[in-house]
Each structure stands twice: as structure tokens, then as C-alpha cells.
């Protein structure tokens, strides 16, 4: 059929097999490769191939010269996927790939709830910060291109000059595509979480965890970003004591068992599950647990998207100890508003007076961030490849997909 390449800057992960629906693409006859290009920009130069599930698809590219050579060897109409941000940050990649006008670049945009800070940042300071944080100066020509392209994206239309842009744009909501981007080049699919749902829709539930209260654990007091969290109003032991008390009280109130959907990093801490004594602790099955849950409890986990997909009621847990940590406090507030969810402050609460909505309506959130009503019930990447190949076959042979500034 065709060759499909995924560009990656950071470490390989076993989850890529599912995230990119690689098995499904191969079954359709496509040749798939995952190109690691982090070494080109010193983003992640020491790559360890410890992801056996995708090792047969992995290709390490150590230099810009090696990349140029690989690109020249590609067959016509090879499809390259990358996050659109990668194309914006590293426009030198655009120059390399579009040296072949018969290659097809699909830029991906994912729309997620803005859980970070909304503080205004000086544009020049932000741009310089990005250059040094992402090491965009490796090579220096990339930093120059980055600045030029950033200016063109903001003011280029007034001058009649277009910035680099992908041949196709893969989005999870049509509103994400710029108004100037050709509508027939916009591929509207859905969020990655919905793909995970499609891949696992026939998986049977664990009877011992069915109809339970599921807590999506984030290991807050173990996360490197919050090392000083225990120096505030609450230490780690007090936190887990209060957390367990809330979960026990919810269990008593609704007559349901509590199941902990463990954080993926939990296995790095052998005794971590003991923090939840008396509760079933499961790692790697968050979707299945949420799908068959009675109630979903979290601080602000992105896995709450599964609760939206399966229309499960959500309760968010807050604490006075989080007030000084915007990375925790802000997402909880944002998620509460977006989901119209009940918040329980684990420091002080009265479950009798709490109004927990057990019949939520997530249609607005789902439409905006997960799946539009008119998108196909198909896996995103096989669908995008099929869409592009249909477009190619219907276009005049003289048409060039290349677009340059």
C-alpha cells in the first residue's frame, strides 16, 4: 500500500503500538516505521530501546546528514506524521522533508483542556525561553528559521506570505484548523483516548472491580515536580491517611468497593500499593476500570476523559495544601468547571451535604475535546492514511502537495 512514518523526539514507548494503531496499519498492508530524531536537536540523545513492543519499527537517526539521506531513499507518497508543534519548533525538518515534493506531511493537533497557568507571558521572553529550553539552536539555522516562521505565522497574511504548513492537518475538532487552511486538507478524527476506547471496546470487565468507586491515582507526593509538597500543610503520611478516609467514606455512603487505578510509575515504587491498604490496586487498566465504574474520583487526571466517554459521574479531590501549587490547584478548578463536577476538600468535608451528580451530561466537553458528533467510528491513523490516499488518487498528476514560505 504505502509507507507510513511517525516522527518522535523523545523516548520510545511500548504504548506507541496502541497510540499509533501500528498493528492495524500493518494489517492494512502499510509499512510502518517510527523515526527517533531527538539526537538531531539534543532533546534526547541517549535513547535506550527498552520498548520491545515497537522495537521492530524503530529507526534511530543520529544526524541531519543521515536524515537527509533517509529522506532521499523514501518512495513517493510516503506519509509522515508528526505533531504540528514539532513542525513549528523545528522548521528545518520541513525543509529536509519538503526537499522531496512527493512526500506527504500530516501535521497533528490534539485539543485538550488547558490545565496549566493562564498568566500572560512576554512574547519575546517566551520565544527566547522556547529556543533555549527545546535547544532549537541545534543547528543554529533551525533557530533562525523558527523565529522567521513564528513571525510569518503571526503577520505573514498581512504581507501575503505564508509560513510553512503541513500538506494535511489531522485534528480532533474542526475548530482547531486555521480558517485559511484548505477544508479538504483537514482530517477530522477524535482524541487519542477515543482510539484507546475503540481498541478496547470488546475487553471484558474484571468482575471484582465492576461497579466500583475508581480512584485515578496521580502519585502527587511522589512526583518530581512536587518534591516540596510535603513541606506544606500536610506531609505524605497525612495525605494518604486523609485520601483513604475520603475513599472509605464514599464507599460507605454508596455501598460500593473502592478500586485504585494505579499510576503507570507505581511499579517503580514496590511498596506503593500499601498506601491503599484494603483496596484493590490495579495498574495499566484505567480505561476498563472507568468504563465499568459506578463513580470516578480524581484530583485532575487526564484519564477523566474516559469518564466522559462512558458518561461516568466524577468527583474531584482538593486540599488546602495544594493552594501554593498552581500546577495542582489550577487544573482542579478548570476541570471542575468543564465537567461541572463536585469537589471534596479532603481536609474537611461532610458527605451528607454534598450534592454529587450521578447522572452527568458531558456532551459539550466531549464535543470540544474528545469526539465531534460527525467524526467516523474509526481508528484515527488508518482513517487519515485512507483519507489521504483517496485524495491523491483523485487529484491530477501534475498537482504538487508542496507548500513553502
Q: Which residues contact 78 (CB under 8 A, 6 or more apart)?
A: 2, 3, 4, 5, 103, 104
Q: Report if residue 400 sits inside a domain.
A: no
Length of the chain measured in residues = 405
Q: Is 284 left (phi over 0), alpha (psi -120 to 50) or beta?
A: left
Q: Residue 116: inside a domain, yes or no?
A: yes
pLDDT of residue 404: 39
Q: What is the pTM of this model?
A: 0.87
Do residue 29 and residue 159 come from a single domain? yes
The pLDDT of residue 94 is 93
Q: Are residues 348 and 382 in the same domain?
A: no
Query: Which triple of cell numbers denotes residue 63?
Result: 544526524
Q: What is the pLDDT of residue 276?
A: 96
Is the domain of 263 the same as that of 304?
Answer: yes
Residue in the structure block whose three cell numbers are 472491580: 209
Q: Looking at the domain assignment, is residue 198 inside a domain? A: no
CATH number at residue 243: 3.40.50.2000
Question: What's residue 367's pLDDT?
Answer: 92
How many domains are contained in the chain? 2
Q: Assess if residue 98 is contained within a domain.
A: yes
In this structure, the answer to whether residues 364 and 379 fall within a common structural domain is no
Does some domain include residue 197?
no
Per residue of the chain (405 residues), what is the pLDDT tens digit? 689 999 998 888 888 999 999 999 999 999 999 999 988 888 776 566 678 899 999 999 989 999 999 999 999 999 999 998 888 899 999 999 999 999 999 999 887 776 665 556 677 888 888 888 778 888 899 999 999 998 888 888 777 788 899 999 999 888 888 888 899 999 999 999 999 999 998 888 888 889 999 999 999 988 877 777 877 778 999 999 999 999 999 999 999 999 999 998 888 888 999 999 999 999 989 999 999 999 999 999 989 999 999 999 999 999 999 988 888 999 999 999 999 999 999 999 998 888 888 999 999 999 999 998 888 999 999 999 999 999 888 866 544 444 433
260, with CB counted inside 10 A (0-12, 13-18, 19+), is buried
Task: With respect to residue 403, please indicate whether it lies within any of the assigned structural domains.
Answer: no
For the stretch 152-159, contacts whose Cβ atoms lie closer than 8 Å and that sit 24 or more positions apart, written own/partner, are 152/405, 153/88, 156/405
Domain with 162, as residue range(s), is: 3-190+372-394
Distance in angstroms (rounded) separating the CA atoms of residues 43 and 62 = 12
Amino acid at each position: 500500500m504505502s509507507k507510513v512514518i511517525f516522527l518522535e523526539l523523545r523516548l520510545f514507548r511500548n504504548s506507541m503500538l496502541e497510540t499509533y494503531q501500528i498493528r492495524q496499519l500493518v494489517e492494512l498492508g502499510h509499512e510502518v516505521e517510527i523515526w527517533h530524531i531527538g539526537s538531531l536537536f539534543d532533546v534526547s540523545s541517549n535513547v535506550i530501546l527498552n520498548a520491545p513492543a515497537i522495537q521492530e519499527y524503530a529507526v534511530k537517526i543520529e544526524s541531519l546528514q543521515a536524515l537527509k539521506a533517509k529522506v532521499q531513499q523514501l518512495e513517493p507518497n510516503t506519509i509522515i506524521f508528526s505533531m504540528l508543534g514539532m513542525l513549528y519548533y523545528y522548521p528545518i525538518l520541513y525543509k529536509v522533508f519538503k526537499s522531496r515534493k512527493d512526500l506527504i506531511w500530516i501535521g497533528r493537533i490534539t485539543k485538550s483542556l488547558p490545565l496549566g497557568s493562564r498568566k500572560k507571558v512576554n512574547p519575546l521572553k517566551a520565544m527566547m525561553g522556547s529556543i533555549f529550553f527545546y535547544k532549537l539552536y541545534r543547528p543554529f539555522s533551525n533557530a533562525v528559521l523558527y523565529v522567521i516562521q513564528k513571525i510569518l505565522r503571526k503577520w505573514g497574511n498581512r504581507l501575503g506570505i505564508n509560513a510553512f504548513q503541513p500538506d494535511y492537518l489531522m485534528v480532533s475538532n474542526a475548530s482547531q484548523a486555521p480558517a485559511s487552511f484548505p477544508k479538504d486538507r483537514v482530517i477530522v478524527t477524535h482524541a487519542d483516548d477515543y482510539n484507546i476506547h475503540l481498541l478496547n471496546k470488546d475487553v471484558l470487565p474484571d468482575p471484582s472491580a465492576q461497579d466500583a468507586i475508581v480512584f485515578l491515582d496521580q502519585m502527587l507526593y511522589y512526583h518530581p515536580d512536587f518534591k516540596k509538597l510535603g513541606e506544606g500543610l500536610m506531609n505524605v503520611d497525612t495525605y494518604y491517611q486523609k485520601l483513604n478516609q475520603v475513599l472509605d467514606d464514599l464507599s460507605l455512603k454508596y455501598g460500593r468497593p473502592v478500586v485504585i487505578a494505579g499510576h503507570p510509575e507505581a511499579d517503580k515504587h514496590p511498596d506503593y500499593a500499601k498506601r491503599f491498604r484494603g483496596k484493590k490496586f490495579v495498574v495499566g487498566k484505567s480505561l476498563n476500570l472507568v468504563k465499568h465504574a459506578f463513580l470516578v474520583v480524581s484530583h485532575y487526571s487526564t484519564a477523566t476523559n474516559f469518564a466522559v466517554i462512558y458518561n461516568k459521574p466524577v468527583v474531584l479531590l482538593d486540599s488546602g495544601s495544594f493552594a501554593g501549587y498552581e500546577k495542582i490547584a489550577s487544573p482542579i478548578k478548570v476541570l471542575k468547571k468543564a465537567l461541572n463536577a463536585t469537589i471534596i476538600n479532603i481536609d474537611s468535608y461532610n458527605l451528607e451535604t454534598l450534592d454529587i451528580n450521578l447522572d452527568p451530561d458531558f456532551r459539550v466537553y466531549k464535543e470540544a475535546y474528545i469526539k465531534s458528533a460527525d467524526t467516523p467510528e474509526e481508528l484515527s491513523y488508518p482513517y487519515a492514511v485512507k483519507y489521504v490516499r483517496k485524495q491523491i488518487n483523485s487529484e491530477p498528476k501534475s498537482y504538487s502537495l508542496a507548500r513553502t514560505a
